């Protein structure tokens, strides 16, 4: 636990982690035990594991073909600003040349990025700062593609409930915008449930549906790769409602029975991880990519 807290390797209770780090700082631990310097520091969330572990595999696969060194730092989830900040402090001790980051998007974290005088590549998600590159999906285009593929379906299921994250997630919002702007004229959004990602997410979704939206929607748009939790929520309520949205290809078939997953956009997160390392290698070599973005196309599953 102490090692994981000191080096942000696996999630540790944030309060305990903070106490361990403060104690280490007060006794001069980091001055006496320097974190080995690396070329690339990778900062990723741990949850949901089935998604981010694929990004990690892609990164490690690509590293095998290179001569650069990396260190991986993990924080709990994209809802946890405090743990992310602690994770960034650990990562900065590695004095990396390039930082590959899946960021938490808050005013505090944006200040941290702006103050970090290093190359930054955002992976899968981003915040709006001038100097960073990005590797991930074209979320707006994904949203358009999903709505267009489901055009006839949405005419028959016109009342749409959106389920999304409370965390400010630029890509989820872009995806939602592309989807909403491409709907048939007869379709309409009847509401949006916004919740933090945690262990009780399925139960929270079920409570929201039961208290506010029973009988008010014909289908669900899952903006944030939460089909597993949405399906569990529907099962709790004994509802069979067709869903569309953004999902992970490993999870979708397993949970399609209860949520009746009509269509999904599959992000190739492992490939995104691979491409982020290729991007980092270019930056280390002093090569600036045109547009500073690498788009990894999503796949429509219908």
Asked whether the predicted pLDDT for residue 57 surpasses 80, the reply is yes
* pLDDT for 97: 93
* pLDDT for 90: 87
Do 155 and 176 lie in one domain? The reply is yes
Do 79 and 189 lie in one domain? The reply is no
Asked whether the predicted pLDDT for residue 84 surpasses 60, the reply is yes
Domain CATH number, residue 56: 3.40.50.2300
Asked whether the predicted pLDDT for residue 2 surpasses 80, the reply is no
The pLDDT-based confidence of 166 (bands split at 50, 70, 90) is confident
Do 78 and 143 lie in one domain? The reply is no
Asked whether the predicted pLDDT for residue 24 surpasses 80, the reply is no
Asked whether the predicted pLDDT for residue 199 surpasses 70, the reply is yes
Do 10 and 128 lie in one domain? The reply is yes
The pLDDT-based confidence of 46 (bands split at 50, 70, 90) is confident
* Highest mean pLDDT pick, 1-15, 24-38, 161-175: 161-175
For residue 271, the cross-strand partners are none
Do 241 and 200 lie in one domain? The reply is yes
Comparing 21 with 54, which gets the higher pLDDT? 54
| Cβ-proximal residues to 135 (8 Å cutoff; 6+ apart), any chain | 121, 122, 123, 124, 272, 275, 276, 279, 293, 294, 296
- The structure's pTM equals 0.83
Q: How do residues 107-118 score in pLDDT, each as one tens digit? A: 999 999 999 989
* pLDDT for 13: 66
Asked whether the predicted pLDDT for residue 7 surpasses 60, the reply is no
The reply to whether 43 falls in a domain is yes
* pLDDT for 223: 85
Domain count for the chain? 2
* pLDDT for 291: 72
Asked whether the predicted pLDDT for residue 104 surpasses 60, the reply is yes
CA distances from 65 to 39, 59, 70, 100, 270 (A): 15, 11, 13, 18, 15
Q: What is the mean pLDDT of the chain?
A: 85
Q: Which structural domain range is residue 213 located in?
A: 139-266
Do 29 and 124 lie in one domain? The reply is yes
* pLDDT for 276: 95
* pLDDT for 165: 77
**Across 44-61, average pLDDT:** 89
The reply to whether 197 falls in a domain is yes
């Amino acid at each position: 636990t102490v090692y994981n807290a000191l080096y942000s390797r696996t999630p540790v209770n944030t309060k305990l982690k903070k106490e361990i780090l403060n104690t280490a700082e007060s006794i001069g631990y980091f001055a006496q035990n320097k974190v080995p310097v690396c070329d690339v520091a990778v900062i990723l969330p741990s949850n949901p594991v089935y998604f981010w572990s694929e990004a990690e595999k892609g990164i490690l696969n690509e590293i095998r073909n290179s001569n650069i060194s990396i260190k991986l730092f993990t924080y709990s989830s994209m809802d946890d600003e405090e743990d992310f900040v602690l994770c960034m402090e650990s990562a900065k001790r590695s004095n990396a040349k390039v930082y590959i980051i899946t960021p938490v998007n808050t005013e505090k974290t944006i200040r941290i990025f702006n103050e970090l005088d290093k190359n930054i590549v955002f992976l899968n998600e981003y915040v709006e700062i001038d100097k960073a590159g990005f590797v991930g999906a074209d979320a707006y285009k994904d949203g358009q593609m999903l709505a267009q593929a489901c055009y006839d379906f949405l005419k028959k299921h016109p009342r749409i409930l959106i389920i999304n994250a409370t965390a400010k997630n630029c890509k989820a919002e872009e995806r939602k915008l592309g989807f909403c702007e491409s709907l048939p004229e007869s379709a309409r959004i009847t509401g949006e449930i916004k919740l933090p990602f945690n262990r009780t997410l399925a139960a929270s979704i079920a409570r929201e549906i039961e208290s506010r939206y029973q009988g008010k929607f014909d289908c669900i748009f899952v903006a944030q790769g939460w089909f597993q939790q949405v399906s569990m929520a529907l099962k709790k309520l004994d509802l069979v409602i067709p869903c569309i949205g953004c999902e992970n290809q490993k999870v979708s078939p397993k949970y399609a029975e209860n949520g009746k997953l009509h269509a999904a956009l599959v992000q190739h997160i492992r490939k995104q991880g691979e491409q982020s390392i290729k991007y980092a290698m270019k930056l280390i070599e002093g090569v600036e990519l045109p547009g500073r973005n690498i788009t990894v196309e999503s796949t429509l599953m219908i």
